[in-house]
Every structure is written in C-alpha cells, then in structure tokens.
C-alpha cells in the first residue's frame, strides 16, 4: 500500500482484563502518565476471554498491532484464566508469524492494578515498535480499507 501520501497513524487494539490491567491503565491515567493516542482499550473480564478470533478480526479490519494485557501469572482474579490465555496466545502468535504478521505486531504483557508506570511504558514501547514495523499489510480485508 502506498504510504508516501499519508502520515502513518497506527491502529492499535489493546485487550485489558478488568481486574488488573484495566485498573493499571486507569492508574496510568490518574497519574497522568502519557502514551500515544493510537492505543484503544477493549475491556474484557479476564485475559482468558480473548478469543483468537478477536485478534484475527482486528488485523482483518486494519489494525497494525494488537496487545493483550492481563494479571501476573498466579494473580489472576479467576485463578487460572491467564494461564490459558498465555498458552493460547503463544500458539496464536506463532501461527500469525507463520502467516506473515510479524512477531512485533502482537504482544502479551502482565500488568497488575498497581503498575500504572509499567502500563504506560509498555504502551509506549509497543507503539514505537509498530511505528518501526510500519503499516500492516497482511490479513487485511481490502473491502474494509477506506
């Protein structure tokens, strides 16, 4: 896709679990820790709610990066949810890599409710990575591109 005529503004979807990472994002907000506006957060009850279908849909609709945040292993509010999420995402990202969606476009990060700083640092570094990777051209459904 020709990039010369428009400035690249990545679309980044973040799935955050309600108990830890969403609260961590709230703390980052209350502490006024900035990160780029390209990141939009979708709240899920637990990281285990994130179906690989959602991530594929995001790339299909034009997302350039998807990050999933959850509670630290051992601290899941639903005790085992993040273990399933961790295994699932390992497989999914490996498959996406095989399909040509670079490893850097997806990420899993464990952020607790007290880690506002970690949340903003994670988002900052993830967005920086996506900028360096450029626009995502794989898995995109051309009918969705405006």
Partner 1 sequence: MQRIGVFVCHCGSNIAATVDVSKVAEMALMEPGVVHAEDYQYMCSEAGQAKIAAAIQEKGLTGIVVCSCSPRMHETTFRKAAERAGLNPYMVEIANIREHCSWIHKDMEEATKKAVILMRAAVAKVNLNTPLQAGESRVTKRALVIGGGIAGIQTALDIADAGYEVDIVEKTPSIGGRMSQLDKTFPTLDCSACILTPKMVEASAHEKITIYTYSEVEKVSGFVGDFTVDIRKKARSVDMNKCTGCGVCQEKCPSKKAPSEFNRGLNTRSAIYTPFAQAIPNVPVIDREACIKFKTGKCGICSKVCQAGAIDYEQKDEIITEKYGAIVVATGFDTINLEKYDEYAYSQSKDVITSLELERVMNAAGPTHGHLERLSDGKAPKEIVFIQCVGSRCADDRGKPYCSKICCMYTAKHAMLIRDKYPDVNVTVFYIDVRTPGKNFDEFYRRAVEQYGVNYIKGQVGKVIPQPDGKLLVQGSDLLDNRQILKEADMVVLATAIEPNPDVRKIATMLTASIDTNNFLTEAHAKLRPVESPTAGIFLSGVCQGPKDIPETVAQAGAAAVKAIGLLAKDKLMTNPCTAQADILLCNGCSTCENVCPYGAITYEDKEVNDHGIRETRRVAVVNNALCQGCGACTVACPSGAMDLQGFSNRQILAEVDAICR
Residues within the interface to partner 1 (CB under 8 A):
11, 13, 18-20, 22-23, 25-26, 28-30, 32-35, 37, 40-46, 48-54, 57-58, 61-63, 71, 74-81, 84, 88, 112-115, 120, 144
Least Cβ distance, residue 107 to partner 1 (angstroms)? 17
Least Cβ distance, residue 92 to partner 1 (angstroms)? 11
Q: Which is nearer to partner 1, 2 or 25 (CB)?
A: 25
Q: Which is nearer to partner 1, 2 or 74 (CB)?
A: 74
Which residues are within 8 A (CB) of 73 and not within 5 positions of it... i.e. 6 or more apart?
Answer: 82, 83, 86, 110
Number of H helices, E strands in the chain: 4, 4
* β partners of residue 40: 13
Q: Please tell me the number of Cα atoms within 13 Å of 54 on its side-chain side.
A: 18
């Amino acid at each position: 896709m020709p990039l010369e005529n428009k400035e690249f503004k990545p679309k980044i979807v973040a799935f955050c679990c309600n108990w830890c990472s969403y609260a961590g994002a709230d703390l980052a907000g209350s502490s006024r820790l900035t990160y780029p506006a390209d990141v939009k957060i979708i709240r899920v009850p637990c990281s285990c709610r994130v179906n690989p279908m959602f991530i594929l849909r995001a790339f299909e609709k034009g997302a350039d990066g998807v990050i999933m945040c959850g509670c630290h292993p051992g601290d899941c509010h639903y005790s085992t949810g993040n273990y399933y999420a961790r295994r699932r995402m390992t497989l999914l990202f490996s498959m996406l890599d095989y399909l040509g969606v670079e490893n850097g476009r997806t990420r899993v990060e464990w952020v607790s409710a007290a880690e506002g700083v970690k949340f903003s640092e994670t988002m900052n570094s993830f967005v920086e990575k996506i900028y360096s990777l450029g626009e995502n051209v794989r898995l995109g459904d051309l009918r969705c591109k405006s």
